[in-house]
């Protein structure tokens, strides 16, 4: 699903679509698989994806199709994705980069969408 891209990211292609929930999600089994393979099974915390122009914490959910990331309307707007659902290239932050991004304080005004 994802392949090495740079020192801080993996590259993948997922469908991006609106989601009625309050946080970004992907199919739970795929979330767990990616977490195990690329984050060395460091828990079930969020995966951090760069979608469009925003970094987004992505959680697992059972009500999302495979190879899809569902975004709440506010997060979808922050990414700059037009005309969803659409197949998009997304960047998945590597474990150390994700930890760094999750530590950003959104109150600073520079935080990623959804953190």
pLDDT in tens, the chain (115 residues): 899 999 999 999 999 999 999 999 999 999 999 999 888 776 568 999 999 989 999 999 999 999 999 999 999 999 999 899 999 999 999 989 998 998 854 434 344 444 4
Q: CB of 95 within 8 A of CB of 39? A: yes
Q: What are phi and psi of 62, to 5 degrees?
A: -80, -20
Q: CB of 9 within 8 A of CB of 93? A: yes
User: How far apart are alpha carbons 30 and 60 in whole angstroms?
Assistant: 8
In the chain, what are the domain boundaries?
Answer: 2-103
2-103 classified as CATH 2.40.40.20: yes
């Amino acid at each position: 699903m994802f392949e090495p891209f740079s020192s801080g990211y993996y590259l993948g292609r997922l469908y991006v679509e609106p989601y009625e929930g309050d946080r970004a999600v992907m199919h739970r089994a795929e979330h767990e698989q990616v977490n195990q393979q690329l984050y060395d099974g460091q828990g079930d915390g969020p995966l951090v994806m760069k979608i469009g122009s925003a970094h987004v914490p992505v959680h697992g959910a059972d009500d999302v199709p495979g190879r899809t990331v569902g975004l709440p309307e506010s997060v979808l707007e922050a990414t700059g994705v037009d005309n969803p659902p659409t197949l998009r290239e997304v960047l998945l932050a590597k474990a150390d980069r994700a930890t760094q991004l999750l530590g950003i304080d959104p109150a600073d005004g520079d935080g990623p969408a959804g953190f």
